[in-house]
Copies of this chain bind each other. A is one copy, B any other.
Amino acid sequence: MATIDIKKILNKDKRSVARAITHIESGYDGAVELLEELHKFTGKAYKVGVTGPPGAGKSTLTLQLIKWFKKEGKSVAVICVDPTSPFTGGALLGDRVRMTEVSNLDGVFIRSMATRGSLGGLSGKAVDASDILDAAGYDIIIYETVGVGQSELDIAKAADTTIVVLVPESGDTVQAMKAGLMEIADFFVVNKGDRPGAEQAVAAIKTMLQFREHDEHTWWPAVIKTSAHENKGVDEVAREILRHKEHLETTGKLAVRRKEREKNRLEGIVEGAILSELWASGGAELLHGSISEVMGKQISPFRLAEKIVNSYREFLKEKNF
């Protein structure tokens, strides 16, 4: 813990914040204690998720939102969850360069986290990182996720307001539905709204929203057309975030959402701890040593599972936990 200065984090010192995130991202010793100490300073930041299929212009929109909130005197931190498929290599270089320029501004912090090799674990780490940014006093934290996988959905669910960004191209909205994005959207942005088909895309989304379960008290997701690279419609998007924030606050839904999220996070921590112990305490060896018998039909997978569960209980008994 010698290298992490809590006071500097609380003073929004960028270098200390960056170092702390690296610390928890790498799972170094003392990571839990660090989060533990910072926990009482969290809960003030407002979290916005920006998600949608690749190429929809999420980075550009995020950049414009940073500038908008900066003008309002707010500090903004962004966690970009990057795809690191060997086929693509993540966001376009131009976006990255512009991101770097903006990240040098005072009161702006931008950080990328990679999904590769950390499926499942990433959403947890992104939430931990946002705790550090929250404690540091950033007013707005934006999660920008690229892709439509489960870990992107998990991260989007960790936001107070989730924006789903689509483009007019046919098939995009269908993809979004199938991937579960429709259900998590607090509102929609149809970016590249100057392209042909934009009006139809807006209409299609509005039609699909009719089928979502709702009553008269339901928040009705808006569908906003933007051209983020020309800064068109960005003002409307930012105001919709604030309108949704107010809705959550006045209805008491914000507290309910955050409690639900903290519950999910706790489940993840508990299950992670138990399962690591289970496999490390001999479960993995037993599985590895007996799998050939399962393949040879000498033992069924269910019997072997029972043996592994029992060996874990035996381990706990011996350790006298």
Identify the A interface with B (CB < 8 A): 32, 35-36, 39-40, 42-43, 53-55, 83, 85-88, 146-150, 169-172, 174-175, 177-180, 182-183, 208, 211-213, 255, 258-259, 262-263, 265-267, 269-271, 273-275, 278, 283, 287-288, 291-292, 294-295, 297, 300-305, 308-310, 312-313, 316-317, 321
Contacts and interface: CB of A to CB of B under 8 A. Distances in A.
Nearest to A273: B309
Contact of A270 (B179, B258, B265, B278): B278
A35 B302 contact: yes
The interface residues of chain A, by DSSP majority, are classed as helix
21 contacts: A35-B300, A39-B300, A39-B302, A40-B300, A53-B171, A55-B171, A55-B174, A87-B177, A88-B178, A146-B178, A149-B178, A150-B150, A169-B170, A259-B291, A266-B291, A266-B294, A266-B301, A266-B304, A269-B301, A269-B305, A316-B317
A171 B172 contact: yes
Contacts of A300: 35-36, 39-40
B180 A149 contact: yes
Contacts of A266: 287, 291, 294, 301, 304-305, 308
